[in-house]
Structure 1
Amino acid sequence: MWREMEPDQRIEVTIDGGHKVVAYSFGSADETVFCLNGGPGLPCDYLREAHSWLVDHGFRVVAFDQLGCGAADRPTDPALWTIERYVQETEAVRQALDLGKVHLLGHSWGGWLGIDYALAHPEALKSLILEDTVADMPASIAELERLRSALGADTVAMMQRYEAEGRYDHPEYMAAITLLNYRHVCRLSEWPAPVSRSLSDWNPGPYGAMQGPNEFHYTGNLKDWSRLAELPTISVPTLITCGRHDEFTPAGALKMKLAIPGAELKVFPNSSHMPFYEEPEAYGAALLDFLNRVAGMPKQSGR
């Protein structure tokens, strides 16, 4: 079960360009789970709180507020909002904290970042965990359109009209997005406090530049991003997870499983985009089993 914990360390890291990001570390074990949160522009609270319990099982957990969010600096230069620069930032944090080889865990946008990081720095990884993410945005955008179509033709036409006009804040449009969020982002009637805390401090600058106005309409510089062709070069043990109702659907997860040699896939039947909150016991058991096998730790019963 996830629980809110205070980190043992809060470390400021200066990256190229003199900007500051802030890392949070739980525990001091040799085996490190290095978490890359979703967004972009979303503070890491929701992801670090969902995984800090791993310290009870022999793992150190590290997450960080990426540039542009949380306690990190928030520059406004749009040239900074590229996946290539975030890969460099991730490596700078790993080196600054002297983490050595890590179990890299990327959720949503953090999964795209994790894939590009794994391709650029394979020497830094013990394993790769891709959660609720995809490796092919054009195909995922088609899947998002399929999910939107369930709202009905009239609602889809309304959404498309406001999107064409750039009126993303219109109440009718926002109502449709809210419904999609509760179907495909988090299906809990009350969203956990760490999720609400991260969302309340979301920076739309990097999010809009890289993704778009919301989770279901992509206009940013990642809309054509795809790494399916490169995935077969990933050689570390890989776990892929998603929810059956995920905005990044099981179809996209299966594509990654088939492309990465030996990858494992776990689909959580009662979850959408956040199985670690929607089905914490089942999610935790699957994650811990994978980590223990990769790290060579004794099998543990329960969490």
Structure 2
Amino acid sequence: MKLRQLLLLPFVTLLLWACNQKSENKSVTVKEYFAPHDSGVQSAGVKMIPVVTSIGTFKVWTKTIGNNPKIKVLMLHGGPAMTHEYLESFESFFPQEGFEMIEYDQLGSYYSDQPKDSSLWTIDRFVEEVEQVRKALHLDKDNFYLLGNSWGGMLAMQYALKYQQNLKGLIICNMMASCPDYGKYANDVLAKQMDPKVLDTVRAIEAKGDFKNPKYMELLIPNFYNQHLCRLPEWPDAVNRAFKHANNEVYTMMQGPSEFGVGGRLANWDIKARLPEIKVPTLTVGAKHDTMDPEHMKWMSTQVQKGRYLYCPEGSHLSMWDDQAHFFPGVIGFINDVNNGQFK
């Protein structure tokens, strides 16, 4: 072989590799993205998935938007027992990126079955539910991104600790790794930002266990929820629908009566020591005005093996609404970096 050919060989090899990479990372076409998932009667991507539990089989609601064999994002809503509705903001961002997105109402939530047996409302049972949904939707380690907000972030972390071999990426939005730490932050930081007279009244109602007193939410909505849950001057219709459709029986049993701290079955949940077990690329999202401590969520990104932190300086607990300018570029960038093998 001539010297010139030998010198050109590395360049040609590199060019072929680059072309192959470009082909591998090429976005799906519009036609491919919106191709029907199922044959027969089309239902706009809605699929009721059977979930087997210790007391019987129930159905949960899912809606898939788009087709992308490499990027499928399953979204876990908060609560517990809120709805997918407040995550509808993702519909304005993910499809234009070509990301396949799956909205999902967990068991007990409005669009899914709502059994009454209290034995169902444990985090371990919800983890098994997510795994059954994953299998039904054919998600795997080559395409499966799990995104959870609030309680959904807690569930996502717990899922990853048991089933991370099935994940390509993990996104934990606005959720600390410890409920005791969350409660401490609410008491030591957020409560002190409230008008002392308002706080005294709220605490007096809580001390009596009088959570159905209309005065309780009358005070919390303007003084806490509007400051730390969603800071938009008018809450989006999707957020209002999620609150309207919340299953308060399940919510109170697991979370407690409000977002102002945590009670119920989740009060002692803490996996801080287990974060180093999470090996998959992980994004943690915190916000300046969140109900959760943004510094704690920054710290979480340093504890997992492959972490990144996204800070939303204008955002609150629902920063996918009140700080979209920072939230969505950060989340989209993470997914693209993982998909392209460029995550660091």
More displaced 10-residue stretch of structure 1: 8-17 or 223-232? 8-17
SS of 1:18's equivalent?
strand
| Counterparts of residues 110-189 of structure 1 (less than 5 Å) | 110-145=152-187, 146-178=189-221, 179-189=223-233
Match of 1:278 in 2: 322
Match of 1:3 in 2: none
**Distance between the aligned counterparts of 1:203 and 1:173, measured in 2?**
18
Aligned residue among 192, 198, 201 for 2:245: 201
TM-score, normalised on structure 2?
A: 0.81
Alignment of 1:27 onto 2:66? yes
Cα deviation, residue 50, structure 1: 2.5
| Counterparts of residues 218-237 of structure 1 (less than 5 Å) | 218-237=262-281
**Distance between the aligned counterparts of 1:129 and 1:164, measured in 2?**
36
More displaced 10-residue stretch of structure 1: 112-121 or 100-109? 100-109
**Distance between the aligned counterparts of 2:44 and 2:331, measured in 1?**
22
**Distance between the aligned counterparts of 1:174 and 1:198, measured in 2?**
16
**Distance between the aligned counterparts of 1:218 and 1:268, measured in 2?**
23
Structure 2: 5+ residue stretches without partners: 1-42
Cα RMSD, aligned residues only: 1.6
* 1:173-220, Cα deviation, whole Å (9 max, x unpaired): 323311200000000011111111111100012111110001014221
* 1:52-84, Cα deviation, whole Å (9 max, x unpaired): 631221211012110011210011111111110
Structure 1: 5+ residue stretches without partners: 1-6, 299-303
**Distance between the aligned counterparts of 1:87 and 1:52, measured in 2?**
28
Cα deviation, residue 109, structure 1: 0.3
Higher RCO (C-alpha 8 Å, min separation 6): 1
Is 1:52–1:61's contact at 8 Å kept on the other side of the alignment? no
**Distance between the aligned counterparts of 1:215 and 1:14, measured in 2?**
30
TM-score, normalised on structure 1?
A: 0.92
Alignment of 1:211 onto 2:255? yes
Match of 1:109 in 2: 151
Q: Which runs of 4+ in 1 moved over 4 A?
A: none
Cα deviation, residue 51, structure 1: 4.4
If you compute each CA radius of gyration, which structure gives the higher value, 1 or 2? 2
CA, structure 1 residues 52+152, in 2 after alignment: closer, same or farther (shift >3 Å)?
Answer: closer
SS of 2:102's equivalent?
strand
**Distance between the aligned counterparts of 2:131 and 2:178, measured in 1?**
23
More helix by share: 2
**Distance between the aligned counterparts of 2:326 and 2:181, measured in 1?**
28
Aligned residue among 80, 96, 104 for 1:40: 80
Is 2:68–2:98's contact at 8 Å kept on the other side of the alignment? yes
Alignment of 1:15 onto 2:57? no
**Distance between the aligned counterparts of 2:127 and 2:76, measured in 1?**
11
Question: What amino acid is aligned across from residue 303 of structure 2 in structure 1?
Answer: A
Cα deviation, residue 291, structure 1: 0.8
More displaced 10-residue stretch of structure 1: 46-55 or 78-87? 46-55
Match of 1:88 in 2: 128
